[in-house]
A and B are shown apart, each in its own frame.
Chain A
Amino acid sequence: MLKHLFKLIWNKKRQNFLLMTEILVSFMVIFAVFSLLVNYYMNYRKPMGFEYDRVWSVEYRPGVSFKTKDSLVVFYDNLRNKLNGMPEIEGITFVSDNSPFTANTRQSNVDYKKQHARSVNWYDADSGYPNTMKVKVLEGRWFGKQDDAATVKPVVINQQLRNELFGAGKALGERIGEEQRFRVVGVVNDIKDKGDFSSPGNGMYQRLDTSNLGWVNKLLVRVSAKADPAFESRLYRAMSNSFKNSNIDINHLTAKLEDINKQTLIPMIILLIVAGFLIINVALGLFGVLWYNINSRRSEIGLRRAIGATGKNVSAQLVTESVILATISLVIGSFFAAQFPLLNVFDLQSGVYVTAILLSVVFIYLLILACSLYPGKQAAAIYPAIALHEE
């Protein structure tokens, strides 16, 4: 039976070739769209890792420069006391520019013995960070006063980096980085600091102390539920009194999250609309061609009916023919698609590609079935007497 169908397809190879090309190209388009969707969805399912709904970011630019370390310490201690004295403020931390939901990144590689971790995000933060962001310290501890005297710079790493560098082994106390400059003192959970659809990358936190506090332009503030717009403008005034020569900008992380999600969502929606229309286009085209093919094969079908094939047989034959066409295209298409995980083209997990290939295959089969079922049914309704009489 199958052999016979292949022969039928081969006899019309020129026309079928065009159909197959069309299915193949559609498959590649669908595959690209599904890869993106699956990737975003998998990221979306992961937990955010911190609480952002009552956190504000306060930027002051340019920062302040100090002649001596002592004046810097006094200035920042005073500022901390002033802010912590406000009843609406539950926690503050100074941070580097790559704070949550901004477009800024700061990355480099981190080594541990033979292990080599790429694209590690470097964050700067001070001792108030866990309390402000509500991240969980999973092993060891966060930075504190005891680090003042440390000779080797203490760092806290996130769980992903921990797994990549140390696997199941011990992380606390190990020396990492170029010339073993850093000592791991703690491990915190991963955070999705580039929005709902981003993947939490490797992360490493450095302590902000007197040596680098002068470079900082930003702090995060956790406020209580009572904080209202009036408090925001009070905070603004307090900040601009402290930073006489800076521009102050206060943003709510909830608003920043919305912005950064939009940067992912808008291109995705545009892509979906375009792909959707392309597929409708292709579906209509396929439907038309299959329908015409069946109409032009009326005499053949009539003959088959006359020598005993049932209506079901006929429609099954036509549908199977289309499915075989699709299968040939899909085998070729999957071969190309499989190169993406094998060559690791866009640095996505191979699970994303495999899921995307499976989804696209199912999608194309459904499309083909939808386009060939009605023409097949119509063919089944052909009466042998009428069809043969026409001839």
Chain B
Amino acid sequence: MLKNYFKIAIAVLRRRKFFTFISLFGISFTLTILMVLTAFIDKVGNSKYPDKNRDRSLYIVQLEERGEKNGYTSRGPSSYYFLNKYAGSLKTPVKVGISSMFNFSSAYVNDKKIAINFKYTNADYWDIAEYDFLEGKPFSKVQVDQAAKVAVISEDTRTAYFGANQHALGKYVEVDNIRYKVVGVVKNVPITMFTFYGDMYLPYTLSKEDYRSKALGGSYTAVLMAASASDVPKMAAEYATAVSKIKVESKDYDKLYSFADPYFTGFVRIVLGRGSDSGITTFYLGLFIFVVLFLMLPAINLVNVNITRIMERSSEIGVRKAFGASSKTLVYQFVVENIILTLLGGVIGIGFSLLAIAFVNASNVIPNLELTLNYLVLLYSLVVCLFFGLLSGVYPAWRMSRLNVVTALKAR
């Protein structure tokens, strides 16, 4: 029986090629846009390289000081002193990685400028972020304490400075008139991974700004890693307690906000965070409204086209009823038809999405950002398509199937 429905469905789809094309185009195109969008969000918010331990890590990315009296606010990364003192003394984390945001500098090779974004880190940083090393290994705690002039560089920097596929281990890179010995080369990280991105990683003790300065604001962020994922809430609470005990000793500010957030919340906090509100609710609400608005047009279109298709087939329904088909059988048939249409659209949509993603990756809009398909969202989107397909295709068919045979036949 199912096989019969399948045959009928294919025959119907082929009979009205134009309408089939419109439906398929709508479904597959909408899917493509959603897939590319989610692939992007997924990559930015959920990428697993290089922090593979993300499920048991928390991130301190922002420090906000507020003066309620005069309306002053200052927002930005923290100082090394602050993070080392308050995050470094916590009991729950097994490791606390502290690193600066990337800074711009440049090196000149044969009068050609190479832009280098460098980043200062402590030794624990390398235990939390598991970079893929092409050569060598990270610098050690001893090297950090001795302020040794050593550097871990990215693959891109190695190519730019030494040439493609040249070994760099043990060679020297000169930046701002200082020579650093290369101890390791890591795989590139896209700039969207803002807490881990850099072209050159140096021990924080080499920092030209004074890392002993007791200011609270600075240029550093921290990653706290717990022993297991179940310790994460405890770790967040411990940090919150530690921060609440800090006395603000400044004439301009009287309140201080700093949070240990999951990765994506931290990301959103930088853009939307105000005081104790991380802005994640605002973010999801905005995204939801956008997606609903975006889906509305194709959905109305799909409903419109589907209703037209069904009206056109009223005589067919009349004939089938006249020969004894029950309403249930008819509805069943239309369900099958719609599922086939949606799946076809889905398959084409996946094809388009793969093409679009390949195109985005090849165009290198954001260097080193490799997008991939998110299958969970694909499933959800197909369900949404199916829902609208059924709403628009099956409901009118069901109503029509309950018509009198005579009326249905006459409607032609």
Give the interface of A toward B (CB within 8 A): 15, 18-19, 21-22, 25-26, 29, 59, 61-62, 229-230, 232-233, 236-237, 240-241, 245-250, 266, 274, 277-278, 280-282, 284-285, 288-289, 292-293, 296
20 A–B contacts, CB within 8 A, in A order: A19-B304, A22-B301, A62-B209, A232-B113, A236-B106, A236-B113, A237-B177, A247-B118, A248-B176, A249-B106, A277-B33, A282-B297, A284-B21, A284-B22, A285-B26, A285-B301, A285-B304, A288-B22, A288-B308, A292-B311
A248 touching B307, Cβ below 8 Å: no
Tell me the smallest distance from the CB of A77 to a CB of chain B, in Å: 23
A250 touching B208, Cβ below 8 Å: no
Q: How far is the CA of A296 from the CA of B25 in the complex (A)?
A: 24
A61 touching B103, Cβ below 8 Å: yes
Q: Name B21's closest neighbour in chain A (CB-CB).
A: A284
Q: Name A25's closest neighbour in chain B (CB-CB).
A: B297
B284 contacts the other chain (Cβ, under 8 Å)?
Answer: no
Q: Name A293's closest neighbour in chain B (CB-CB).
A: B308
> Which residues of B in the span 103-118 have a Cβ within 8 Å of any Cβ on A?
103-106, 108, 111-113, 115, 118
- Which residues of chain B are near A250, meaning CB under 8 Å? 106, 113
Tell me the smallest distance from the CB of A36 to a CB of chain B, in Å: 15
Q: How far is the CA of A274 from the CA of B29 in the complex (A)?
A: 9
Knowing that A25-B300, A229-B111, A250-B113 are A-B contacts, what are 18 other residue pairs whose CB atoms are under 8 Å apart, sorted by A's residue number? A29-B297, A61-B104, A229-B113, A230-B111, A232-B111, A240-B176, A248-B106, A249-B115, A278-B297, A280-B25, A281-B26, A281-B297, A285-B22, A288-B18, A288-B308, A289-B304, A289-B308, A292-B311
- Which residues of chain A are near B33, meaning CB under 8 Å? 274, 277
A247 touching B297, Cβ below 8 Å: no
- Which residues of chain A are near B209, meaning CB under 8 Å? 62
> Which residues of B in the span 284-337 have a Cβ within 8 Å of any Cβ on A?
294, 296-298, 300-301, 303-305, 307-308, 311-312
- Which residues of chain A are near B296, meaning CB under 8 Å? 25
- Which residues of chain A are near B111, meaning CB under 8 Å? 229-230, 232-233
Given that A281-B25, A285-B301, A288-B308 are contacting pairs, would A247 and B108 also be in contact in the complex, using a CB cutoff of 8 Å? Answer: no
Q: How far is the CA of A246 from the CA of B175 in the complex (A)?
A: 11
Tell me the smallest distance from the CB of B128 to a CB of chain A, in Å: 26
A249 touching B105, Cβ below 8 Å: yes
Tell me the smallest distance from the CB of B119 to a CB of chain A, in Å: 12
Give the interface of B toward A (CB within 8 A): 18-19, 21-22, 25-26, 29, 33, 103-106, 108, 111-113, 115, 118, 175-177, 208-209, 294, 296-298, 300-301, 303-305, 307-308, 311-312, 365
Q: How far is the CA of A26 from the CA of B296 in the complex (A)?
A: 10
Q: Name A262's closest neighbour in chain B (CB-CB).
A: B365
Q: How far is the CA of A236 from the CA of B282 in the complex (A)?
A: 45
- Which residues of chain A are near B312, meaning CB under 8 Å? 292, 296
Q: Which of A245, A274, A280, A292 has the most CB of B within 10 A?
A: A292
Q: How far is the CA of A285 from the CA of B19 in the complex (A)?
A: 8
A22 touching B300, Cβ below 8 Å: yes
B29 touching A277, Cβ below 8 Å: yes
- Other-chain residue from B21, B108, B298 in contact with A233 (beta carbon distance below 8 A): B108
Q: How far is the CA of A250 from the CA of B115 in the complex (A)?
A: 9
Tell me the smallest distance from the CB of B206 to a CB of chain A, in Å: 11
B108 touching A236, Cβ below 8 Å: yes
Q: How far is the CA of A229 from the CA of B106 in the complex (A)?
A: 14
- Which residues of chain B are near A237, meaning CB under 8 Å? 177
- Which residues of chain B are near A59, meaning CB under 8 Å? 104
- Which residues of chain A are near B112, meaning CB under 8 Å? 229
Tell me the smallest distance from the CB of B341 to a CB of chain A, in Å: 15
- Which residues of chain A are near B108, meaning CB under 8 Å? 232-233, 236
B29 touching A247, Cβ below 8 Å: no
A247 touching B208, Cβ below 8 Å: yes
- Which residues of chain A are near B22, meaning CB under 8 Å? 281, 284-285, 288
A278 touching B105, Cβ below 8 Å: no
Q: How far is the CA of A280 from the CA of B28 in the complex (A)?
A: 13
B113 touching A266, Cβ below 8 Å: no
Q: Name B107's closest neighbour in chain A (CB-CB).
A: A236
B300 touching A18, Cβ below 8 Å: yes
Q: Name A228's closest neighbour in chain B (CB-CB).
A: B111
Given that A18-B303, A278-B298 are contacting pairs, would A248 and B105 also be in contact in the complex, using a CB cutoff of 8 Å? Answer: yes
